[in-house]
Amino acid sequence: MGKPLIHRSPMPGLGLSMGVTLTMLSLVVLLPIGALLWKGANFGISGIWDTVNRERVWAALFLSFRLSLFAALFNLVFGMILAWVLVRYRFAGRRLLDAAVDLPFALPTAVAGIALTALYAPNGALGSLAAEIGWKIAYTQWGIFVALVFVGLPFVTRTVQPVVEEIEAEVEEASATLGASRIYTLRRVVLPMLAPAALTGFALSLARAVGEYGSVIFIAGNIPLKTEIAPLLIVIQLEEFNYDAAAAIGIAMLLISFGMLLVINLIQVWSRRRIGYV
């Protein structure tokens, strides 16, 4: 006999807690996602392919995933610097800086969207500065990049910070005693320890950016083939009551995001095994 499905326990409330958990999970998350997949199944693989395989849809998907990747990479580097600075250095305003990192989580995306647009539009405070060197930010792909960096900013910092706090002094000291330069220690000793957490933050930041809508649509300009993101395309299809097409693009986005997360998870498993540090 294998393991029982649920072990016997003296704890009360099994039925109630399991019932509430599974009912709400089904009603709020699983059934709606099931409805999307069901719609896709009825529409058929060829139907989905015909919808997705159009220049405008490919352009939107490619734009969303490419800019999300760039934004997540930027956040990976900046987030690690931020985590290091916040944990290791003591300076005036550190607490304020630490709290400010979470603002993108707390600020509604629509608010972030119009604020970033006001700031980076050609007549905005930062946009006019950029315009002087001929750099257009709002209503171009740069604007989308800025918005995606904003929404994904906290992830890497928040996953890496606790790991930096845990690093034992001996590890770096041993490296230094053995003659390694500071740069070498950071690169070969510290960085590998931070890598799994940083990768988790990177994946979260990427997933968030790919699906982001509110902060992007104001600053993007939304020009088909140029600055139109994939989630906007779904909204446009829905507004035209074109449910099949909306479902097809939605399923394509789901599949690509899950595929990316799977790859990142595999890299993570591999890096943990290679480095032997969890």
Partner 1 sequence: MSDASLTKFRSAREETPLARYALIAVAVLGLGVLVAAPLIAVFVEALAQGWLAAVASLGNHDAASAIKLTLLIAGVSVPLNAAFGIAAAWFITKFDFRGKAFLITLIDLPFSVSPVVAGLCIVLMFGTNSLVGGWLVASGYPIVFALPGIVLATMFVTFPFVARELIPVMIEQGRAEEEAALTLGASGWRTFWTVTLPNIRWALLYGVLLCNARAMGEFGAVAVVSGKIRGQTATMPITIEMLYNEYLSVAAFSMAAVLTLLALVTLMLKTALEIRHADALAATHRH
Residue 149 interacting with partner 1 (CB under 8 A): yes
- Give the residue with the Cβ less far from partner 1, 70 or 84: 84
Which of 41, 45, 110, 263 touches partner 1 (CB under 8 A)?
110
Q: Which residues from 125-144 bind partner 1, rule CB under 8 A? A: 125-126
Segment lying near partner 1 (by CB under 8 A), choices 10-18, 51-59, 130-138, 266-274: 10-18
Residue 263 interacting with partner 1 (CB under 8 A): no
In the complex, minimum distance from the CB of residue 238 to partner 1, in angstroms, rounded to a whole number: 6
Number of Cβ within a 10 Å radius of residue 23 = 10
Give the integer Cα–Cα distance in Å for 159 and 126.
30
Residue 100 interacting with partner 1 (CB under 8 A): yes
Q: Which residues from 232-251 bind partner 1, rule CB under 8 A? A: 232, 234-235, 238, 243, 246-247, 250
Residue 118 interacting with partner 1 (CB under 8 A): yes
- Give the residue with the Cβ less far from partner 1, 179 or 276: 179
Q: Which residues from 70-89 bind partner 1, rule CB under 8 A? A: 78, 81-82, 84-89
In the complex, minimum distance from the CB of residue 270 to partner 1, in angstroms, rounded to a whole number: 19
Segment lying near partner 1 (by CB under 8 A), choices 48-56, 130-138, 230-238, 266-274: 230-238
Give the integer Cα–Cα distance in Å for 52 and 91.
52
Number of Cβ within a 10 Å radius of residue 65 = 19
Give the integer Cα–Cα distance in Å for 86 and 164.
10
Per DSSP, 239 falls in state H
Residues 199 and 241 sit within 8 Å (Cβ to Cβ): no
Q: Which residues from 31-70 bind partner 1, rule CB under 8 A? A: 31-36, 38-39
Query: What are residue 192's phi and psi, to 5 degrees?
Result: -60, -30
How many residues bind partner 1, per CB under 8 A? 103
| Placement of tokens 């060197």 in the chain | 133
| Placement of tokens 């690169």 in the chain | 187
Which of 153, 194, 198, 199 touches partner 1 (CB under 8 A)?
153
Number of Cβ within a 10 Å radius of residue 94 = 13
Residues 6+ apart with CB under 8 A from 48: 40, 248, 251, 252
